[in-house]
Amino acid sequence: MVSPEYTDENYSIFNAYINARHIDGDMYPADPDQFRSFLVDGRPEAAFCEFRKDDKLIAVCVADVMSDGLSAIYTFFSPAESKRGLGNFAVLWLIEEAIKMNKPNVYLGYWIKECQKMNYKMDYRPIEAYYRDQWQLVK
């Protein structure tokens, strides 16, 4: 875990990720200012959880470190490493880190049922959703 910052190394992976996975979204095309404003600037509670293979950066999970847990903000990885399941690995790593830090929760952020790209969040159980001003167990 390192402090959030713009580097050519992490931006290069972010740019490749957006170009490979999100050309249909509002983050395409990626640009350095967007990267900074979304993931770096004004985020004192955040950390870049860097994953490396042979000292080469292959993925970054951006997470807020909160008093009661870790909150996943965004994960991006090298498209060349997509067969590794790095998105799933990042979530499992956050769960393990939360346990080590004695934090009871891992937040995976907003979930929109109709958004196929968000459906992975339902793979992690137990899961609760904040609905109508209260946390409810999702079955």
Tallying the residues shown for the chain, one arrives at: 139
Name which residue leads in pLDDT, 23 or 41: 41
- In the predicted structure, residue 57 carries a pLDDT above the cut 90: yes
Mean pLDDT of 132-138: 90
Q: What is the rounded average pLDDT for all residues in the chain? A: 92
* E strand or H helix that includes residue 46: strand 46-53
Name which residue leads in pLDDT, 51 or 121: 51
Q: Tell me, what amino acid is at 6?
A: Y
Mean pLDDT of 88-101: 96
Per-residue model confidence (pLDDT) at position 28: 81
Query: For the chain, first and last CA: distance in Å?
Result: 33
**Contact between residue 74 and residue 109 where contact means Cβ atoms under 8 Å apart:** no
Per-residue model confidence (pLDDT) at position 47: 96
**Contact between residue 52 and residue 89 where contact means Cβ atoms under 8 Å apart:** no
Largest CA distance in the chain: 47
Strands 69-77 and 128-131: what pairing? Answer: unpaired
pTM as predicted: 0.88
* E strand or H helix that includes residue 8: helix 8-21
| The dihedral formed by the CA atoms of 6, 12, 14 and 16, expressed in degrees to the nearest 10 | 170
Per-residue model confidence (pLDDT) at position 24: 76
* Residue 130 banded pLDDT, cuts 50, 70, 90: confident
Mean pLDDT of 101-109: 93
Mean pLDDT of 110-133: 84
Per-residue model confidence (pLDDT) at position 69: 96
Q: Which domains does the chain have, with CATH numbers?
A: 8-107 (3.40.630.30)
